[in-house]
């Protein structure tokens, strides 16, 4: 399902990132424990009145060596391209500036709804100044205070009012949606093209509802439908902001969000780079299915030796992705690309697998019998009962006497036992310990 996208634009220091944090709250992320993974707070999901949405802080997308107004203009471009609703933020304490006016006249070009947020309206006097901002011609200014957390109900009401109706969000649960993500030049767009040549039965190009994204839908011999998500500015190369790493990260995150399964593309010619780990970290955090594709396999000379080495490197560099199958392919020669649809189908089945409670609990009690639960200060972890509460990813709640006693290593052990008993290749699993009174 496509989530509505909200983008924040405005001059530096008006408080965009402060407001961003207010809107999405703090998120706990396992990725922060992984080495080499930095979190860019330019993109997150939020929720209001039961509606989920994606939020982008365009101010976080830095352009090097560009004058400030050019940067803001690019940021406004990104917002106009990506967003369903644009939130233009100004500063009540500084009042209306010529830069605000310039941004506003730029935003007037878009047909998309623009919501005007007046930040730093910390007290009643400052809230009075919002009337000055009617001059921007962007409708009612909404006073907020990122510092005090006030005004956000009104702001969110106004934002959500512009979302497309939920009924338009079609049920696409039968489709398998996937994308190629990776650092520049690993061969993502070549893979898209190669797969399109391979699979000539293209059903349609789906025009994005409000975005310009064009996804491609195709069917395989069995009649299974796939949607290949358009990734990472493949068609719009050349603009300055396309080349910035943060923008490419943002596009990856957007592709991941819309996918069931993410193909993390590596380059056999260059080997694993630091940036590959960031990309893999984002994929992991999303809970989506993952395949590791090693592309440009045609360039490798001593294939048998490199196959072993590359596999080992992947397993040691991406330890948290041990569940992800690895496929060595070439977009150039199409080697092994025909295997991708079957692999996607298998993973899709795995991530949607439901395990009966009785079967699940048999596996758990066998696991506990083989490897007794940990103890701490004389108390032993007791596992009463487990049940699967969700699919995509399969999520298991395990009822225990004390969640503190459920150590990470034992959770890992249980996960591995579940993986051995059932087919969960390519999908992460979630185990949630809960205390039973
Ligand atoms: P950005 O550059 O637009 O992302 O702005 P920041 O979120 O980094 O905020 C710039 C400065 O304004 C920081 O020092 C914030 O603490 C401050 N600030 C943000 N929101 C408010 C607010 O509502 N009231 C006041 N008084 N200061 C704020
Ligand atoms: P993207 O930035 O990840 O979309 O990468 P591109 O698809 O633009 O590919 C980057 C470069 O790698 C181009 O010059 C491609 O021709 C080349 N390339 C892509 N896939 C392969 C492959 O399988 N084998 C070889 N030899 N070159 C490839």
Residue 168 domain flag: no
Neighbour tally for 18: CB within 10 Å? 18
Q: What is the dihedral of CA 189, 232, 162, 79, to 10 degrees?
A: -140
SS3 assignment, position 112: coil
The CATH number for 75's domain is 3.40.50.300
Separation of alpha carbons 17 and 58, rounded Å: 9
Q: Please indicate whether residue 122, judged by its CB atom, sits closer than 6 Å to ligand 1.
A: yes
Tell me, yes or no, whether 142 and 246 share the same domain: no
Tell me, yes or no, whether 182 and 325 share the same domain: yes
Tell me, yes or no, whether 347 and 234 share the same domain: yes
Tell me, yes or no, whether 237 and 99 share the same domain: no
Q: How confident is the model at residue 157 (pLDDT cuts 50, 70, 90)?
A: very high
- ipTM value of the model? 0.68
pLDDT at 211: 39
Single out the residue of 305, 291, 275, 301 nearest to residue 336, CA to CA: 291
pLDDT at 235: 44
Tell me, yes or no, whether 337 and 363 share the same domain: no
Is the CB of residue 213 less than 8 Å from the CB of residue 295? no
122 contact partners, CB below 8 Å, separation of at least 6 = 145, 147, 148, 150
pLDDT tens, 58-86?
Answer: 877 766 677 888 888 888 887 887 789 99
Q: Which residues is 290 bridged to in the sheet? A: 262
Tell me, yes or no, whether 343 and 371 share the same domain: no
Asked if the bond preceding 393 is cis, omega within 30° of 0, the reply is: yes
Which ligand neighbours the alpha carbon of 18 most closely? 1
Tell me, yes or no, whether 50 and 93 share the same domain: yes
Tell me, yes or no, whether 303 and 198 share the same domain: yes
Residue 22 has pLDDT above 80, yes or no: yes
Number of domains in the chain: 3
Domain that holds residue 240: 176-351
pLDDT at 201: 52
pLDDT at 72: 85
Q: Please indicate whether residue 126, judged by its CB atom, sits closer than 6 Å to ligand 1.
A: no
Question: How much is the average pLDDT of 247-258?
Answer: 79
Q: What are the φ/ψ torsions at residue 385 (nearest 5 degrees)?
A: -170, 145
Q: How far is the CA of 332 from the centre of ligand 2 (A)?
A: 8
- Burial of 253 (C-beta count, 10 Å sphere; 0-12/13-18/19+): buried
Is the entire prediction scored with pTM above 0.90? no
Which ligand neighbours the alpha carbon of 187 most closely? 2
Q: How far is the CA of 370 from the centre of ligand 1 (A)?
A: 55
pLDDT at 45: 78
Tell me, yes or no, whether 340 and 206 share the same domain: yes
SS3 assignment, position 96: coil
pLDDT tens, 287-342?
Answer: 999 999 999 999 999 999 999 999 999 999 999 899 999 999 999 999 999 999 99
Residue 171 domain flag: no
Is the CB of residue 151 less than 8 Å from the CB of residue 120? no
337 contact partners, CB below 8 Å, separation of at least 6 = 191, 194, 195, 198, 329, 330, 331
Q: What share of the chain is helix, strand, coil (3-state, %, to 5)?
A: 40, 25, 35
CA angle, corner 269, sides to 265 and 272, nearest 5? Answer: 55
Tell me, yes or no, whether 384 and 341 share the same domain: no
Q: Please indicate whether residue 58, judged by its CB atom, sits closer than 6 Å to ligand 1.
A: no
Residue 415 domain flag: yes
pLDDT tens, 263-274?
Answer: 999 999 999 998
- Per-residue tokens: 75: 């940021």
Average confidence score pLDDT of the chain:
85
pLDDT tens, 355-384?
Answer: 988 899 999 999 999 999 999 989 999 999
Q: Please indicate whether residue 14, judged by its CB atom, sits closer than 6 Å to ligand 1.
A: yes
Q: Where among 351, 381, 400 does a domain terminate?
A: 351
Residue 29 has pLDDT above 70, yes or no: no
Q: How confident is the model at residue 1 (pLDDT cuts 50, 70, 90)?
A: low
Q: How confident is the model at residue 215 (pLDDT cuts 50, 70, 90)?
A: confident
Tell me, yes or no, whether 325 and 190 share the same domain: yes
Single out the residue of 401, 359, 394, 398 nearest to residue 380, CA to CA: 401
Residue 167 domain flag: no
- Any idea how long the chain is? 437
Q: How far is CA 157 from the centre of its chain?
A: 24
């Amino acid at each position: 399902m496509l989530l509505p996208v909200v983008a924040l634009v405005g001059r530096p220091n008006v408080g965009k990132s402060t407001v961003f944090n207010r809107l999405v709250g703090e998120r706990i992320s396992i990725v922060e424990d992984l080495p080499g993974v930095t979190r860019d707070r330019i993109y997150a999901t939020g929720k209001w009145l039961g509606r989920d949405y994606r939020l982008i802080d365009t101010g976080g997308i830095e352009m090097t060596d560009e004058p400030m107004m050019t940067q803001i203009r690019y940021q406004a471009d990104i917002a106009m391209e990506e967003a369903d609703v644009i939130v233009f933020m100004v500063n009540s304490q500084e009042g209306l500036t010529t830069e605000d006016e310039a941004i506003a006249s730029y935003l007037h070009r878009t047909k998309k709804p623009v919501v005007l947020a007046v930040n730093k309206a910390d007290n009643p006097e400052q809230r009075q100044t919002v009337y000055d901002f009617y001059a921007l011609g962007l409708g009612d200014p909404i006073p907020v205070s990122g510092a005090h957390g006030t005004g956000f109900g009104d702001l969110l009401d106004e934002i959500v009012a512009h979302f497309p109706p939920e009924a338009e969000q079609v049920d696409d649960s039968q489709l398998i949606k996937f994308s190629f993500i990776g650092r520049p030049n690993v061969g993502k767009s070549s893979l898209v093209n190669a797969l399109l040549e391979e699979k000539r039965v293209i059903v349609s190009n789906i025009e994005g509802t409000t975005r310009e994204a064009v996804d491609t839908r195709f069917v395989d011999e069995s009649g299974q439908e796939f949607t290949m998500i358009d990734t990472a500015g493949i068609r719009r190369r050349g603009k300055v902001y396309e080349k910035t790493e943060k923008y490419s990260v943002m596009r990856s995150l957007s592709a991941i969000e819309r996918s069931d399964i993410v193909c993390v593309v590596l380059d056999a010619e260059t080997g694993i780079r630091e940036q590959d780990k960031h990309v893999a970290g984002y994929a992991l955090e999303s809970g989506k299915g993952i395949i590791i594709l090693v592309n440009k396999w045609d360039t490798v000379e001593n294939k048998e030796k490199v196959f072993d080495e590359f596999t080992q490197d992947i397993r040691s560099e991406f330890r948290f992705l041990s569940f992800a199958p690895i496929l060595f392919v070439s977009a150039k020669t199409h080697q092994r690309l025909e295997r991708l649809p079957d692999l996607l189908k298998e993973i899709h089945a795995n991530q949607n697998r439901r395990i009966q409670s009785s079967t699940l609990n048999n596996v758990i009690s066998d696991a506990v019998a083989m490897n007794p639960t940990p103890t701490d200060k004389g108390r032993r972890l007791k596992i009463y009962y487990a049940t699967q509460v969700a699919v995509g990813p399969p999520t298991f709640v395990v009822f225990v006497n004390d969640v503190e006693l459920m150590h990470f290593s034992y959770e890992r052990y249980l996960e591995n036992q579940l993986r051995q008993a059932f087919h969960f290749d390519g999908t992460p699993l979630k185990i949630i310990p809960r205390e039973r009174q």
